[in-house]
Amino acid sequence: MPRPLKAGDRLAKDKSRRPQGSASTKRPRKPRTGLARVAGGVLVRGLYRLALLGVVGGLLVGGGLFLYFSSGLPSVAKLRHYEPPLETRIYADNFRLIAALGTQHRIYVPYDRIPHLVASAFISAEDRNFWTEPGIDPLAIVRAGLVDMTRLGSHERPLGASTITMQVVKNMLLDNRIDFARKIKEAILALRVNRAMSKRRILTLYLNEIYLGQNAWGVAAAAEAYFDKPLSRLTIAEAATLGGLPKAPTNYNPFLHPKRALDRRNWVIGRMRDDGVITDTEAKQALASPLLPKAAAGTRPVPGAGYFINAVEAQLVQMFGQKTTMEGGLIVRTSLNPRLQTAAMDAMRDRLEAYDHEFGFYHGPVTRLDLADLAADWPAALAKQATPAGLRRRWRLGVVVSETPTMAHIGWIQGDNPAATRAGTLSLAALQWGRPMIHGAPGPMLRAVDQMLKPGDVIMIDPHKPTKGGTVSLEQIPHVEGSMLSLDPETGRVSIMVGGWSNRMSPYNRATQAHRQPGSSVKPFDYLTAMQAGVQPDATILDAPFTQRLADGQLYRPGDYEMNFLGPVPVFYALEQSLNLATLHLVRRVGLANVAANFEKFRIVHHMPLIYPAAIGALDTTLWRMVRGYAALDEYGRQVEPSLIDSVTAPDGHILYQAPDQSCANCMDGSADQLPVLNRPGAQLADPDSVYQVIMMMRNVTEHGTGVPAVLGLKRPIAGKTGTTNNFNDAWFIGFIPQMVTGCWIGYDTPRDLGTNQTGGNVCGPAWNQFMKVALKGQPVINFPTPAGMTLAQVSYGSQTVTEAFKPGQAPGAQSNLGLVADNPLGLGGALSNGNGQNTQHDFNPASVPSGTEQSVPPPSVDKSLGGLY
């Protein structure tokens, strides 16, 4: 029986049957059964469903994430009505920028005023696909995502992929955090913004909102800050410099990092060329341009204008509110005259400095340098000292390097370079003015320099003012203060305002805020009351003892400056020489209540107490009020409202405020003989004839009386009046010509004696004179016009002859005993005319006011023993 085949035998047989050298062959695949086909289809469908499920799941997850990150996002609708915070810009009368109010320096520029070159520089640098993208750049986002994933844990700043639209969202709708969640929100909002508004609007928001360094927000402010130019005048290179700043304003600031800024600028120029914004030739020229940015002159300070600016700011806040004033982008045109403001500040500081050298004493050094620093490197040590507030422009900080008994050797730095040192000397004689005070008076003469100065002392010097035996002068900021105010009486426009030595040292405005006793500077309103009552300028009034028993039992017995009695004097002479007793007798004749009425109508005070000291200046008022009252006199009784602001304009050009109408009714008539009739607002406070009589008497004050020091060398008609309180605490002079009124006050913030014989004419007069010589240069000489029907006549007193004005029906010499009788021979009863045919409510009737009852309870600041002196 044959042996059964085994597996190995069969394989061997099969193998033996293969042709030698032939490749092995696969066994043919059996046909798939139906079950296999079903299994395969299930697998494919499963994979398809799995993929579909993944897509749906991804969409659901993505949608969920979208909803998660979308929830609570700010609305893009606010961008349609977005008004960026804009600084308010204040200009002088010559359009010079003098101040900017606000926390952000920004100038809003609408799209049609943004040069194409500037916009293109930013687009080439920041977002080349801006005009076509949907608000985001997907490829840039993917690229940034991949790079950022490789930086995980490296603490490196994530790579940005922000489009211009996304930057608008970041700057205006979101915070500045850098994380993935915020970037997702940024992208979502960018898509919404792109759908909600035009590309032009988005670009306008971007170019006005973006911060570009140098405290400049927006392209217009940056053009000023870096190149002192408007946008329309920027070159390609300058536009590229700005276009390179958004990435890192500090790192690419051309003032701080010029090499980086130059490289960045050139890169932007290359991008602009590649984008077809500029040609190859233009690119080459721009690349060859030096960086050389010019810092904006900006708000070049006008000396002392801080007081004026603060007053304007306060008025704007009152008119428009704090937020609009600081963020509303107001354009404010003011009446400030920079040339005259500089002259006024110089005049006041020169006068206070001269007064300090005559009556003051040395306050001591600003600080002291360590003697080791002095010996090692005093220029470096001195350079570290902060500039004191109030230091005059020509002054310097110097250090006492060495001293001998008769001479101090001073070193200082010229400019900002510590290597640029200068040397000078201060002699013993030059220091005598500052010798220490003993019991309120300057002590004995100095015997040696070291009684005042020692090595290491840092002092203020004037290297431009040589002294006797020395090359520099010792200076200091005086303790005495002063103020000055000047305006055009026709318009009320305030041209200068000095509120003190330095606004940086003290914002307290002594021109508007300091309530001080005006002394005899109120007397013109006493005499106006007399002129309104029919008193003639040459009428005789008695300069004799004046007593008044007041309601509280006190006896009021004032005196004149000279403490003597002149007897009968003409009215014009009593004002000219500021005679207290004659003035008080005149006030008693015309009625204290009538005088009070004029004080209040001319707004010298809100309410005048009915006591005689108040009639000669023992009350509180301000320089602002006094100049306003004198301006009404200059306008022949028309009320004048001082103004600081000419106009206020919104950023879109809409006028928000304009000063009252100042048109002229007959300026086009061409008549040389006819005075212009100006349509000025303001009530008529007194009849022009009476005011003119006072003006003529006030001319005597400046030509023959107490105001002579103020007008030396000013060869023109000037009316004015001095003011000095009887304890010499306050010195005043207020004077005017037809086209200008200027007032001056000098005193201590805490009232104290200015010194014996320091009257308004002697103290304020020189400052007033110095300023007016500048202000009147080139101005025509204009006389005060005589009202129709009035006559001018010469009258005499003693050896003096002056010209006075007389109303119709008056004649020189017709009143010769006004103050010599107790009754009322002139019939000065009835009401006072205000020039409009209307009468005041204060009737003149001396008999109706019993002696000792012309008083009301005075405020605490009024001392009934006080009054004007001179």
Q: Known catalytic residues?
A: 126, 520
As a whole number of angstroms, the distance between CA 233 and CA 229 comes to: 6
Distance CA 226, CA 229 (A): 8
Rounded CA gap, 814 and 826, in Å?
10
Query: What residues have CB less than 8 Å from 671, skipping those under 6 apart?
Result: none
Distance of CA 636 to the CA centre of its chain: 33
458 strand-pairing partners: 367, 399
Closest listed residue to residue 277, CA positions, set 158, 124, 70, 423: 124
Which residues does 329 contact at the CB level (< 8 Å), separation at least 6? 86, 87, 88, 89, 106, 107, 108, 650, 651
Q: Degrees (nearest 5) of the Cα angle 146, 148, 149? A: 65
Distance, in Å, from the CA atom of 704 to the CA atom of 57, rounded to the nearest integer, reads 104
Cα 154 from Cα 144, distance rounded (Å): 15
Cα 283 to chain center, whole Å?
Answer: 43
C-beta separation of 846 from 589 below 8 A:
yes
Concatenated DSSP letters of 638-691 = B----BSEEEEE-TTS-EEEEPPP--BSSTTS--SSSPP-B-----B-S-HHHH
Q: How far apart are CA 561 and CA 420, in angstroms?
A: 55
H/E segment holding residue 470: none
Pairing of strands 407-413, 396-403: antiparallel
Rounded to an integer, what distance in angstroms lies between the CA atom of residue 187 and that of residue 138? 10
Q: How far apart are CA 825 and CA 181, in angstroms?
A: 97
For residue 721, give the nearest of 729, 713, 712, 731 by alpha carbon: 731
What gap in Å lies between CA 32 and CA 41, rounded to an integer? Answer: 13
Q: Cα(618)–Cα(258) distance, rounded to whole angstroms?
A: 64
**Which 3 state secondary structure label does DSSP give 171?**
helix
843 token code pair: 């009737």
The DSSP result for 563-577, as a single string, is S---EEEEHHHHHHT
Report the distance separating Cα 310 and Cα 316, nearest Å. Answer: 10
830: left (phi over 0), alpha (psi -120 to 50) or beta: left
* Strand ranges (E), 264-338: 331-334
Rounded Cα–Cα distance for residues 460 and 390 (Å): 11
Find out whether 708 and 733 touch, Cβ atoms under 8 Å: no
Describe the crossing of helices 236-243 and 258-274 by its angle, rounded to 10 degrees. Answer: 110
The bridge status of strand 457-462 relative to strand 719-724 is unpaired
| Alpha-carbon gap, residue 753 to 760, rounded angstroms | 13
At 728, is the secondary structure helix, strand, or coil? coil
What span, in angstroms and rounded, lies between the C-alpha atoms of 682 and 496?
Answer: 22
Give the CA dihedral 652, 657, 659, 664, nearest 10 degrees: 60
Give CA–CA dist 570/589, Å, rounded: 14
Length of the chain: 870
Neighbouring-strand partners of residue 724: 731
